[in-house]
Homo-oligomer: A and B are copies of this chain.
Amino acid sequence: MSSDQHCETVRRYWAAAEARDWESFAATLSPDVVYRCPQTREVVRGLDAYLRFNREYPGDWHLDIDRVLGDEEGAMSRTTFTVGGEEMTGLCLFRMDAEGRIVAVEDWWPAPYERPAGRAHLSELQD
């Protein structure tokens, strides 16, 4: 499987999630898929548990794919999630199995923080 194919799989994964088309979503995944959110230490193991995690995820969320990048092992996406009026950037790394199905998802949700005091002379702040 090529980097381009991995990127295409990730685009199908997100399009299916946005459409709540859980059959198409499942078709992008390995039965042994493992999801990790390193920031919360959450782990979800296996296709059934991962489908449930996504189906039952609260809120009327919507997503736009900003960018998808690939390598030999899988792909990475930058997405913008909108829930209510709030926007968040999601950064997600994927690894694929030999058949090109997603077997590992690493999910990151960076939140705002204050600029460290020691950097005030080195950067400006955007409005």
Contact = CB atoms under 8 A, between A and B. Distances in A.
A58 interface: yes
Interface of A: 3, 7, 35-45, 49, 52-53, 56-58, 67-71, 73, 75-76, 78, 89, 91, 93, 108-116, 118-119, 122-126
Contact of A122 (B3, B52, B114): B52
Given A41-B115, A43-B124, 4 more contacts: A37-B115, A43-B126, A53-B119, A69-B70
B91 A39 contact: no
Given A53-B123, A78-B93, A71 B111 contact: no
A42 B112 contact: no
A108 B111 contact: no
Copies of this chain assembled into the complex: 2
26 contacts: A3-B3, A3-B69, A36-B126, A37-B115, A37-B123, A38-B89, A38-B110, A39-B111, A39-B112, A40-B115, A41-B115, A41-B125, A41-B126, A42-B119, A42-B125, A43-B123, A43-B125, A44-B123, A49-B122, A53-B123, A57-B119, A67-B73, A68-B71, A69-B75, A89-B108, A110-B111
